[in-house]
């Protein structure tokens, strides 16, 4: 049932079904895969006064919605099954489909059967779940194919709930499975049929649990070559989109093989540099992408203990990375660093609260948005010396999924509802 629907809300229909445009939000971290949107959402927008619509979801999930061609897609439990729903830009449900029996989260407040976010190439929607179900749908809800990754390729041995999201390349759909105790690999499937195109092992010796990764790969141009960049098991690697071959590897993040250095926050990439959070939020590193073989010595640009994030993936654009300390004594600290040098440009502090940030922040225009677990959303203007005009908004339910900013609208997926905010 919809609530507070604004009749004036609509998306600009400037997209086609043949390509993803910059104004869409086609994946968990948006059109650039770095948490940056193109919409013009003012930093002082009052969310409490500008709720456009609110839709009850059929179950609790932690995945982030994606938006393409004026349609919003979100994964969720539907009864006892893995499900996906489609909505139009006014919050009207268009369709819902199920894929198979769900596998519940571990009972933690941040776990669910639907942690992984969907992704689209502008033609097809791809969904992935803790059960291992990986499926493809057209935009009208027709199932094109599905398979169970764990049934076919090996059991899930992660300590916590599956969190990685699939990514699309020019050659296929790629999924990363990285775990200490089970099989670890990259898998590429034909986007139209689900047929395996290639599969390569990605296994490194690590300490206990440190091989577990909940990160999502990047697909970027490196040295003029489309490359899959993967972070996990104490190593950053680059792979060919054609074959999955490892092109280069950067290690040295955990030379003593300390245990429990599992990684949740993904890197961000700007100006050919990956900004990598690691060490359970204690460290951040800058790595120059490219080269061949072991690039550990040549590519390691800087390392810092002055900023870090364990769960919340940073934001990056124009050679700068914005890192949100998500837990500990520095919880709520936002650090702007130069990706190539690690130089800190400024640090600001969001109002402190008892709970932490599992949601990853986003930037759109000069507006910074961050959602805390307790349902508090912070918005601020990015100034030359830090965050300005910090606003605090209470949503009324827990927030684990990341904000989505598209067509001058903020989408938030809470513990019970999908909500849209914007100018009325």
pLDDT tens-digit readout, 222-246: 999 999 999 999 999 999 999 999 9
Instruction: Tell me the pairing of strands 246-250 and 293-294.
Output: parallel
DSSP string of 319-345, one letter each residue:
TEEEEE--SSTTTTEEEEEETTT--EE
Whether residue 11 has pLDDT greater than 50: no
Tell me what pLDDT residue 179 has.
Answer: 98
How many whole angstroms from its chain centre is CA 375? 19
Name the one residue in this structure whose structure tokens are 């199932």.
143
Across the chain, mean pLDDT equals 92
pLDDT range class, residue 39, cuts 50, 70, 90: confident
CA distance 196 to 276: 30
> pLDDT digit string (tens) for 319-371?
999 999 999 899 999 999 999 999 999 999 999 888 999 999 999 999 999 99
Tell me what pLDDT residue 110 has.
Answer: 81
Do the Cβ atoms of 88 and 94 come closer than 8 Å? Answer: yes
CA distance 33 to 204: 26
Do the Cβ atoms of 348 and 330 come closer than 8 Å? Answer: no
Q: What is the pLDDT averaged over residues 374-381?
A: 96
Enumerate the H helices of 249-344 as residue ranges. Answer: 296-299
Tell me what pLDDT residue 230 has.
Answer: 98
pLDDT range class, residue 108, cuts 50, 70, 90: low
Tell me what pLDDT residue 13 has.
Answer: 26
Give the chain's end-to-end CA distance (angstroms, integer): 20
* 106 or 11, higher pLDDT: 106
Residue 173: name the closest of 202, 224, 137 by CA: 137
* CA atoms 393, 44, 367, 337: torsion sign: negative
Tell me what pLDDT residue 424 has.
Answer: 78
Burial of 107 from C-beta contacts in 10 A (0-12 / 13-18 / 19+) = exposed
Tell me what pLDDT residue 3 has.
Answer: 37
Q: What is the pLDDT averaged over residues 39-47?
A: 83
Do the Cβ atoms of 249 and 296 come closer than 8 Å? Answer: yes
HSE-CB for 56 with a 13 A CA cutoff: 4
Facing residues of 328 across strands? Answer: none
**Other C-beta atoms within 10 Å of 346: how many?**
15
Burial call 190-222: b when 16+ CB within 10 Å, e when fewer:
ebeebeebbeeebebebbebbbbbbbbbbbbeb
Do the Cβ atoms of 98 and 86 come closer than 8 Å? Answer: no
Whether residue 12 has pLDDT greater than 80: no
And the tokens for 302? Answer: 């800087």
Name the one residue in this structure whose structure tokens are 């809300």.
9
Tell me what pLDDT residue 168 has.
Answer: 98
Residue 214: name the closest of 399, 360, 368, 68 by CA: 360
> pLDDT digit string (tens) for 116-163?
999 999 999 999 999 999 999 999 999 999 999 999 999 999 999 999
What number of residues does the chain have? 424
Domains of the chain: 2-422 (2.130.10.10)
Residue 61: phi and psi, rounded to 5, are -135, 165
> pLDDT digit string (tens) for 251-307?
999 999 999 999 999 999 999 999 999 999 999 999 999 999 999 999 999 999 999
Name the one residue in this structure whose structure tokens are 């849209």.
420
CA distance 50 to 119: 28
Do the Cβ atoms of 85 and 73 come closer than 8 Å? Answer: yes
Tell me what pLDDT residue 21 has.
Answer: 52
pLDDT range class, residue 48, cuts 50, 70, 90: confident
Residue 298: phi and psi, rounded to 5, are -75, -25
CA distance 83 to 127: 9
Do the Cβ atoms of 58 and 79 come closer than 8 Å? Answer: yes
Task: Return the H-helix or E-strand segment holding 177.
Answer: strand 173-177
**HEC string for 229-290:** EEEECCEEEEEECCCCCEEEEECCCCCCCCCCCCECCCCEEECCEEEEEECCCCEEEEEECC
Lowest pLDDT segment from 14-28, 99-113, 343-357, 378-392? 14-28
pLDDT range class, residue 392, cuts 50, 70, 90: very high
And the tokens for 270? Answer: 């700007």
Whether residue 58 has pLDDT greater than 80: yes
Q: Is the pTM of this model over 0.85?
A: yes
Name the one residue in this structure whose structure tokens are 């948490």.
35
Task: Return the H-helix or E-strand segment holding 67.
Answer: strand 66-68
Tell me what pLDDT residue 15 has.
Answer: 28
Question: What percent of the chain stands above pLDDT 90?
Answer: 88
Whether residue 6 has pLDDT greater than 70: no
Tell me what pLDDT residue 45 has.
Answer: 84
């Amino acid at each position: 049932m919809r609530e507070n629907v604004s009749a004036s809300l609509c998306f600009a229909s400037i997209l086609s079904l043949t390509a993803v445009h910059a104004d869409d939000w086609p994946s968990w971290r948006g059109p650039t895969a770095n948490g940056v949107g193109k919409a013009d959402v003012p930093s002082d927008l009052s969310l409490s006064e500008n709720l456009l619509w609110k839709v009850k979801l059929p179950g609790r999930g932690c995945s982030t919605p994606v938006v393409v061609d004026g349609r919003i897609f979100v994964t969720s439990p539907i009864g006892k099954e893995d499900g996906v729903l489609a909505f139009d830009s006014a919050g009207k449900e268009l369709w819902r489909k199920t894929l198979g029996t769900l596998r519940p989260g571990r009972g933690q407040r941040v776990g669910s059967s639907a942690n992984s976010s969907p992704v689209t190439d502008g033609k097809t929607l791809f969904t992935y779940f803790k059960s291992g179900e990986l499926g493809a749908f057209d935009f009208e809800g027709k199932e094109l194919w599905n398979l169970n990754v764990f049934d076919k390729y090996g059991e899930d041995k992660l300590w916590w709930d599956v969190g990685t999201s699939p990514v699309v390349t020019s050659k296929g759909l790629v999924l990363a499975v990285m775990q200490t105790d089970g099989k670890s690999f990259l898998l590429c499937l034909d986007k139209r049929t689900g047929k395996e195109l290639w599969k390569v092992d990605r296994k490194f010796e690590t300490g206990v649990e440190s091989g577990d990764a909940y990160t999502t790969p990047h697909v970027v141009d490196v040295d003029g070559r489309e490359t899959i960049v993967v972070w996990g098991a104490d190593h950053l690697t680059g792979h060919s989109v054609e074959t999955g071959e490892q092109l280069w590897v950067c290690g040295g993040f955990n030379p003593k093989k300390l245990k429990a250095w599992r990684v949740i926050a993904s890197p961000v990439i700007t100006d050919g540099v990956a900004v990598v959070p690691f060490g359970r939020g204690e460290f951040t590193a800058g790595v120059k992408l490219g080269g061949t073989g072991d690039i550990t010595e040549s590519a390691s640009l800087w390392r810092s203990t002055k900023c870090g994030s364990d769960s919340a993936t940073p934001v990056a654009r124009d050679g700068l990375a914005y890192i949100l300390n998500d837990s500990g004594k520095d919880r709520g600290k936002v650090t702007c660093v130069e990706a190539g040098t690690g130089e800190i440009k400024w640090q600001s502090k969001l109002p402190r609260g008892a709970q932490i940030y599992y949601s990853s922040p986003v930037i759109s225009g000069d507006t910074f948005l961050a959602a805390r677990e307790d349902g508090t959303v912070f918005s601020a203007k990015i100034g030359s010396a830090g965050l300005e005009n910090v606003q605090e908004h209470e949503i009324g339910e827990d927030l684990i999924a990341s904000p989505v900013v598209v067509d001058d609208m903020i989408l938030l997926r809470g513990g019970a509802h999908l909500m849209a905010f914007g100018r009325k």
